[in-house]
Structures are given as structure tokens and as C-alpha cells.
Structure 1
Amino acid sequence: MTLASTGPEHPRSADPIRLPSGRLHYTTPLGAQYSGDSRLLLGELPPQSVDLFVTSPPFPLLRPKEYGNADQNDYVEWLLPFAAAAHRALRPTGSLVMEIGGAYQRGRPTRSLHQFRTLLACTDRLGFHLAQEFYWHNPSRLPTPAEWVTKRKIRAKDTVNTIWWLSKTPHPRADTTKLKTPYSASMKKLLADPDRHYRPMLRPSGHTVSEHFGQDTGGALPATLLSVPNSTSNDAYLRACRLRGTRPHPARYPARIPEFFITLCTNPGDLVVDFFSGSNTTGHSAELLGRRWLGIDLDTDYAAASAARFPQAAVPA
């Protein structure tokens, strides 16, 4: 994976951004973790200062979670002020990436439409553009809800969450070549002898396969289905929490999710913000990729515990 250098059109200050109304829990060489109401703290960010927001808001699940989750009927109006504040703080070519899982309606084997209504509200009411929709496939997810999936067996196991990639402009900054993956065995075979395995022609589907199809470009481009298991039970964060006697966040997405979008949409030195930071997977990924970052979470305990991800974290006196 090759990371491009920061362009001259995006100058960077060495001074970290301060959020006066938030509680600062720790800093690292590239970032800072705050607790407080993100709707207020996002308003303290300078306009057009953020290159990328990557976040996973609490889903409106039927069973209440300890970290808090809004009701399905109120979800859009609850989440929209956060997205509006992010829109104001984004650079003109910046992006907002939100991972929002689905849920069933109470007492019925039918799905809530909250994530789709959120998408339409962000585009129709806030002026965001849908750059692209992604799907996180988690093959290790448990079969829930048990009533419809394992007891009555009338619904399939749900293993996919939606990820909305939103932008202020139809042309946000992005580069998929930084996310190339090794070719499959069949593609390697084709590249070794293109003339034997395909002919440039118009396919019955209407798609044209040109002579360029057989050129080796260094790897396969990424797809919109991100298949990443989320089954970690003994990673460095959890071990550090146990050693410190702190309470780990119960809902953590795997690092490969924020890493993908940070690599796609930013360059080293850019600013990445997560306003539902939880265990701060996003901030840790940004630090490892050489991006500046800010994490904000309403829960002071979770914000403080996320320091377990950073051996070099400095706690203010």
C-alpha cells in the first residue's frame, strides 16, 4: 500500500486543534482525545478544517446498549445535527464516512429503514453528495435476532452493515490506487498470456473489454464490499484495558474499516475526526497512517479508556 505525500495545496499547522468545551483526556504525537457533546464540540472546529470524518454512530437497536442508542423513530432527527456540524467543518473536497448497521422493527420480522432515511436526509436536507455506498460484510457475526433467525427460521443471518461515503462536492479527494490488492490466481494466469485467455470485444452485456484489460497495473482495485471479520477477543486494546482495570467499549469495529477510508480519502498530515470515537479505533488507525486526528465521545470513561491503544499517550496534568 503506497501513501501519497501531502500536497502543497493543503498546508498543515503543527499546533493541535483545541476544543475549549471538551474535556481533554490525552494527546499523542498526532492527535487528541476529548469527551463531551459532539454537537457542541464540532462547532468549535475551524470551518473547512477537517479532511475526513470517519465514524460509527450508535445503531437504533431494540435492546438498549450501555453506550446509548436512539430510538428508530427518532434516529434521523437525532443524528442529523452531528452530520450538519460535520458538513460545516469539512474542507471543500473532504468526506464524511458513516457506518450504520441495520435493525429489525420491534415485534415484527421487518427491517427498520433508519440508515436509508439518514442517507436521504443528509443529501436532501444538508446538501451532501453520496460519493459511493459501501457494505461491511462481517462473516463472524452471530445470528440475531434469535426469534426470526434461529427459532422460527424465517429470516437469514444478517452479516452486512451499510457505510455511506458522503462528500461536500461531487468530486471529493480520493485515490483508489493506494488500495490495490494482489491479483487473483486466475488474473495472474491471464496476465501471463493475455492473447490466450481473452479477446478484446463487445460483450453480450454491452460492456466493452479492450486490449488494456490484459495490462498489469500493479494490483486489483478495491471493491465496495469490505469483508472483514470482527471476532477479536484478545487484541492489544483489550489486554491493555485488563491490565489497567478499565472498562473496554463493547462495540468496536475492526481497524481495517477506518484504515480503508483514511487511505482512500486522505494524505499524511491530513486531519481525521471521529465524533463517536468509542474505543478510538479511528484515531489509532490515523496515527499509524501518519494522519492528524481528533476523537470525541460523550462517555468520559470510554474516552479515557481508549488511551490503552496508545503507549505514547500523554495525559494532561
Structure 2
Amino acid sequence: MIMTQADLLAKIAHSSRVYTTGSGTQICADSREILPKLPANSVDLIVTSPPFPLLRKKEYGNEDQHAYVDWLVDFAKAAKDALKDTGSLVLDIGGAYQKGRPVRSLHQYLVLIALVENVGYELAEEFYWYNTAKLPSPIEWVNKRKIRVKDAVNTVWWLSKTDFPKVNLDPVRVPYSQSMKRLLKNPEGYYKPKLRDSGHAIGKAFGQDNGGALPSNLLSYPNSDSNGFYIRTCKQLGQRAHPARFPAALPEFFVKMLTEKDDLVVDIFSGSNTTGRVAERLGRRWLSIEESREYADLSSIRFMEGRELDEIREVYGAVKSGRCPQL
């Protein structure tokens, strides 16, 4: 039985609700306060990109690394009860250098180890998001001294409560290579069945058309949107867009792979609510939680594409006033 949005929000104060849509609700609060209020075993997928406040505000030595890990573990603990046994937690965590030193922080790996060994999650698989449009950074070690290469890959941990979370790879298959297309046209003539050096047997089964190839765990998406609807409209309203936005393709991959229609997708650090917008477009229910009221309000813009600016301004005003409109 699918819980209604009203069921999910029954214990959440109306004052923390920012806006609703046909499929979801934006909440302004600390996720650690909201997650325990959700019904147990109600969430199919949590996909999010946590902020890095400790990395930016403090010198990032061992003490700060562990403080960051402990801080993020608190959220993951709160999320575990809300997740279904078939559910998944997907964390996109960027890397960083230690302040003033050309050596890397280990925070994303310490988070992973803590979540598996201390909280009881399983690592279903590690993914790597390659941002093909990322500018060279950090400036000191890459641009100036030229002693490190460009840091362009984020770690993305796919975690689950059990060994066998819900997953369907068909929606995320990728186009076949030209050689595979030739094989599919004439499997018998392309090569003779044989045993490779690796021990893998190559035979007729490889000539089956599955509608596309399985993707790899290297996800290559540019984060280059500088004048999309959300950013452009923020400027027109005289507002500063959220500064750290991941491309829609990243949460879309996991929403497609790990959920099906009407499943519940949650983002516990929703920022500009890219995840909620993706979930809405794909026919999933969603709940997004953002502590900053400014960013939570602005995220409503994502659901107003196609409207005239005057109407957007009016609805955005209603959101800011706390009236929690349905968009």
C-alpha cells in the first residue's frame, strides 16, 4: 500500500512546509528532526549531496575530518529507519585538499567506513561522477604551482540496508558501441565462440539485444548550466541562485535505477531541489528537506517553468510569505 503525501506529512509541522506539487513537498528544517517523524520503512531512495561546512570554515586536520564524519553519520542514522529494507541511500561527496597543503582529505572514505562498520549500511557499489566541465582546481596546486592535476571526480556511495535493494538496470542502459551493433546484426559471423585468456566464455548469448549496454560506475556529466531556467529566473527576481548544484543527470540516473513509478524519493540536503524536480518529472513521489529558508523558497522556481515572469514573482512571493502554495 502506497502512503499518501498526507500520511507522510502527518507529524511534520505545517510551518516547516514551503510549497507542494502534485507529487511532493519541500520542507525547511534540519533533516535530523524530520527523518524520525517519517513512517518507518516508507522511503525507497534517499539521494543527496551533503554540504562541506567544516571543510570551508576550519583548517581540515584529523579532528575536523572526524567532526565532519560524525556530523554526517547523524543524518545517516536518522535516515536508516525511514528507508525500506529494499531502499537505498546515495551520497555524492566531493573531495578536498587539506587547508594549505597539497595532500588530500580522507573525509569521504571515512564517512563510507563509518556508515558500513558503525551504522550497518552495506556498500552496494561505489560510483564516480566525472564532471567534464569542472574548472582546474585547487588554484594553488594546479594553476599556480602545477604540482597536481585537476580534481574533477566526486565519489558517489550507493548504500543499502540489505544485500538486495531494489534495482532495475534497464532504464539506465546506454547505447551499444558500433562493434556491438555489428555483432547484433550477425552474431554467428562476428566471431566464433571461444574462451578468452581471462577465462570468460564468449558465445551466442553475447548476441542478444537487450536494448542497450549496461552502464559503468563512472558517470560522466558536465555541470555547466550557467543560464538555465532556474539560474536565469533567480537573476530576474534579483536573487542569488544556490551556489552548489549538481546536474539533473546525476540524481536522475539513480532515481531511474533504484525506484519505480510512485516510489518515494527523499533529498535530505535539497539545496535548489534538483532531486525533487527530477522525481516529479519521472513520476515519483518526493520529499525534499533544506535547512536554509532562502534556498528552500528559491527552489520553487524549478517547478514554474513555462509561466510568465509576473506570475512566477507572485507565486514566489506566496512561498516567501509562508503560505505554502501548491505549484
Amino acid at match of 1:228: Y
Deviation at 1:147, TM superposition (A): 1.4
Q: Map residues 6-85 of structure 1 onto 2, 5 A cutoff.
A: 10-13=1-4, 15=6, 17-18=8-9, 19-20=12-13, 23-59=16-52, 62-64=55-57, 71-85=64-78
Amino acid at match of 2:6: D
Deviation at 1:243, TM superposition (A): 2.6
Deviation at 1:128, TM superposition (A): 0.4
Deviation at 1:246, TM superposition (A): 2.5
Q: Map residues 204-283 of structure 1 onto 2, 5 A cutoff.
A: 204-283=197-276
Q: Matched residue of 1:17: which SS?
A: helix
Relative to structure 2, which stretch is displaced further, 191-200 or 79-88?
191-200
Relative to structure 2, which stretch is displaced further, 11-20 or 160-169?
11-20
CA contact (8 A) 1:275 1:296 kept: yes
Q: Who is 2:151 aligned against? A: 158
**Could you report, residue by residue, the CA deviation over 1:204-247 in whole angstroms, capped at 9, with x for unpaired residues?**
12222232112212111121111000011011111221233322
**Could you report, residue by residue, the CA deviation over 1:51-109 in whole angstroms, capped at 9, with x for unpaired residues?**
100000013674449xxxx9434110010010001111001110000000100112221
For residue 107 of structure 2, the aligned residue among 102, 111, 114 is 114
For residue 310 of structure 1, the aligned residue among 298, 303, 306 is 303
Structure 1 unmatched runs, 5+: 1-9
The whole-number CA distance in structure 2 between the counterparts of 1:188 and 1:246 is: 49
Q: Rate the CA distance shift 1:61–1:39 in 2: closer, same or farther, 3 A.
A: closer
Relative to structure 2, which stretch is displaced further, 51-60 or 258-267?
51-60
The whole-number CA distance in structure 1 between the counterparts of 2:54 and 2:186 is: 52
Q: How many residue pairs were aligned?
A: 304
The whole-number CA distance in structure 2 between the counterparts of 1:230 and 1:286 is: 19
Amino acid at match of 1:13: T
CA contact (8 A) 2:251 2:275 kept: yes
Q: Who is 2:134 aligned against? A: 141
The whole-number CA distance in structure 1 between the counterparts of 2:101 and 2:194 is: 50
CA contact (8 A) 1:136 1:163 kept: yes
Structure 2 unmatched runs, 5+: 306-314
Deviation at 1:193, TM superposition (A): 2.1
Deviation at 1:197, TM superposition (A): 2.6
When normalised by structure 1's length, the TM-score is 0.91
Amino acid at match of 1:17: L
- Percent of paired sites with the same residue: 55
CA contact (8 A) 1:22 1:36 kept: no
Amino acid at match of 2:67: D
Q: Who is 2:84 aligned against? A: 91
Q: Matched residue of 1:259: which SS?
A: helix
Relative to structure 2, which stretch is displaced further, 201-210 or 93-102?
201-210
The whole-number CA distance in structure 1 between the counterparts of 2:94 and 2:54 is: 9
Moved over 6 A (4+): none
The whole-number CA distance in structure 2 between the counterparts of 1:42 and 1:303 is: 17
When normalised by structure 2's length, the TM-score is 0.88
Q: Rate the CA distance shift 1:211–1:259 in 2: closer, same or farther, 3 A.
A: same
The whole-number CA distance in structure 2 between the counterparts of 1:252 and 1:53 is: 17
Amino acid at match of 1:251: A
Q: Rate the CA distance shift 1:74–1:61 in 2: closer, same or farther, 3 A.
A: closer
**Could you report, residue by residue, the CA deviation over 1:10-64 in whole angstroms, capped at 9, with x for unpaired residues?**
5343636212286111000000101111111111111111110000001367444
1:167 aligns with 2:160: yes
Q: Rate the CA distance shift 1:22–1:131 in 2: closer, same or farther, 3 A.
A: farther
CA contact (8 A) 2:260 2:284 kept: yes
Q: Matched residue of 2:8: which SS?
A: coil
Amino acid at match of 1:172: P
Q: Who is 2:312 aligned against? A: none
The whole-number CA distance in structure 2 between the counterparts of 1:212 and 1:80 is: 44
The whole-number CA distance in structure 2 between the counterparts of 1:163 and 1:22 is: 33
CA contact (8 A) 1:39 1:82 kept: yes
Q: CA RMSD in A?
A: 2.0
CA contact (8 A) 2:280 2:286 kept: yes
Q: Rate the CA distance shift 1:22–1:101 in 2: closer, same or farther, 3 A.
A: farther
Q: Who is 2:311 aligned against? A: none
